[in-house]
Structure 1
Amino acid sequence: MTRVAVLYGGISAEREVSLSSGKQVVIALRQAGFAVDPIDVGTDLAAVIAALTPKPDVVFNALHGRFGEDGTIQGVLDWLEIPYTHSGVRASAIAMDKQAAKAVFLSAGLPVARGRMVAIEELEATDPIPLPYVVKPSNEGSSVGVEIVRAGDNRRAEIARAWKFGPQALVEEYIPGRELTVGVMGDRALAVTEILAQANTFYDYTSKYADQGSRHVIPATVHPDAYAEALDVALAAHRALGCRGASRCDFRYDDTAGEPGRLVLLEINTQPGLTPTSLLPEQAAHLGMSFPQLCAWMVEHAACRG
């Protein structure tokens, strides 16, 4: 029987999300017939390595955020020569650095939002680009730290003074319209989902993980050309970064002037959420794949990429 170690928890701002993903994965893998060893990852890396001794057949990486999604744990697993799920060091590190990922997407001819990295001191002093705009950390996931600054909004200096994500922020044009997402498994884009946040103006952390925080429409009711473009761009982004296994791309779709509108790639997630409210499992289910089958597919496509 294949022995799978599930890494979950971690030490990033997304620890609670990862705990939820990991618990779901443990149950699903056992239902799929695997021998499963859950490992709650904390600050002691030596303890994690000890828990991986003797080596499992596969590591299921259910970590989110820094140290779990940015190439760090991937490098450790490559060193230990243990096959693991999802992307390797290079793709994980680039995807987690939003500005670096944008550079790759631009070179591949993919549509991205206009913007730049800005020193926090500059943000505190003045609007760095025309309003409205989005302020976000360059290396966090799950919309952690994301703020929208609109015309007439006096929160800019307050946001800058409270910033805790490093000396710079990524500032991008605000794209009006709708929130779309596309999951990718291997060489296949799955479906386009529209996300309708219930209580907020954008798909923030609460909308993503709170019970009934958002409503998902699958397949998204957008123009057929926009639907096809979203599938194509998600697969192209996955390939441009060299992702493996499953990923998920998030988009803004500006149809405010009519359809087909402007599709903008926001980011790619190399460790898509696997919680009860997550989008990739929902898209897989839409295509007839159960959650245990999805997790088993990830294990079967695990690799050591050193």
Structure 2
Amino acid sequence: MQTQAIDKNLRIAVLAGGSSSEREVSLKSGENARDALRAAGFKKVDLLDPADKMFIDSIRTYDLAFLAMHGAGGEDGEIQHVLDYLGIPYTASDAFSSACGADKDVSKLIYANAGIPIAKGVTLKKDDPITVEDIVAVVGEESFVKPAVNGSSYGISLVKNPSELPCAIEKAFKYSDKVLIEQRLVGTEITVGVFGDSETLKPLPVVEICCPEQSDFYDLAVKYVDPTDIHRIPARISKEDYEQAQDLACRAHEALGCFGISRSDFIVTSSGPVILETNTIPGMTDASLFPDELRHANIEFSDACASLVEMALARVGRR
């Protein structure tokens, strides 16, 4: 990775924290990114929290923002709009792509338009006149209920009996004004990172997510345990499914208009991979999937972070 041309005196603010339900995870991601950038040779790298009252005054003193924000306010385009207004370059996707990726309902429409397989689903807004019977007719007896705009499995429920739907929907509405109910897919859960700019874009090794016996799915209790217990690289799927998943991850990245970095989650069914969602700012903690994929691709996390800075600067030049 070519990073030697970057001015190592560049003042970089790593943005982490915020006020979303993913605040604590974001702070850990930010700390890792800050340490990685310092290891890459950048002399002025600090962690800034957008929830701080003095944030706007502080961010103006930096040359570039490295985004380690997750959830509302970070991955949904909000902080990107602020940085665009202030004229401060930043890593990862722009405001529009971030908003599309964060809204699972919108992103599903984009996937479908791009020919990427999606699960059957129903989207609800509060007070929508729809019955349990109507939902089951579309998604089947078992389903996943999730906030349409949120992340890290907050507010998500596995419904094994239609009678559980009302409580699951009520729970999801606590995290979002829109709720997505999707058919429960049977198969192997995988995730595929994508890294690079338009000329160097490439998929990373496919990770199989192996949930402990006591967990029905990759929920919040599982996400941040020792990755060696639940991440299997390479994934134990067929060569055909492996290559298709990598291709679909790149297509999802491009369809959403992502930049520099993304990670798409899939279920590999008997008919092949079906996409679940795309994360435009993947987790960067020690237990996160994306850094694990980088390691298995023989890419140092510090080099990857430096490359994201380089890409962000190049994007400004193109504009």
Could you state the TM-score of these two structures normalised by the residue count of structure 1? 0.91
Counterpart contact for 1:124–1:160, Cα < 8 Å: no
Distance 1:161 1:99 in 2: 18
Counterpart contact for 1:119–1:168, Cα < 8 Å: yes
Q: Which residue is 1:301 aligned to? A: 311
Q: Write 1 or 2 for the structure with the bigger share of helix.
A: 2
Of 286, 295, 300, the residue aligned with 1:276 is 286
Partner AA of 1:247 in structure 2 = S
Whether 1:218 and 2:225 are equivalent positions in the alignment is: no
Q: Which residue is 1:15 aligned to? A: 23
Q: Which residue is 1:103 aligned to? A: 109
Of 156, 161, 166, the residue aligned with 1:157 is 166
Whether 1:3 and 2:11 are equivalent positions in the alignment is: yes
Q: CA deviation at 1:214?
A: 4.9
Counterpart contact for 1:182–1:248, Cα < 8 Å: yes
Counterpart contact for 1:208–1:277, Cα < 8 Å: yes
* C-alpha distance 67-173 of structure 1, shift in aligned 2 (>3 A): same
Q: Which residue is 2:192 aligned to? A: 182
Distance 2:55 2:247 in 1: 38
Q: Which residue is 2:296 aligned to? A: 286
Q: How many pairs align?
A: 297
Written as runs of structure 1 = structure 2, the 5 A alignment for 1:1-306 is 1-34=9-42, 35-42=44-51, 44=53, 47-54=54-61, 56-119=62-125, 126-127=132-133, 128-129=135-136, 130-151=140-161, 154-162=163-171, 163-186=173-196, 187-198=201-212, 199-211=214-226, 214-255=229-270, 261-302=271-312, 303-304=315-316
Q: CA deviation at 1:157?
A: 2.6
Counterpart contact for 1:123–1:160, Cα < 8 Å: no
* C-alpha distance 160-242 of structure 1, shift in aligned 2 (>3 A): closer
Distance 1:119 1:94 in 2: 18
Counterpart contact for 1:85–1:298, Cα < 8 Å: yes
Counterpart contact for 1:125–1:157, Cα < 8 Å: no
Structure 1: unaligned runs, 5 residues or longer: 256-260
Structure 2: unaligned runs, 5 residues or longer: 1-8
Q: Percent identity?
A: 41
Could you state the TM-score of these two structures normalised by the residue count of structure 2? 0.88
Counterpart contact for 2:190–2:207, Cα < 8 Å: yes
Aligned-pair Cα RMSD in Å: 2.0
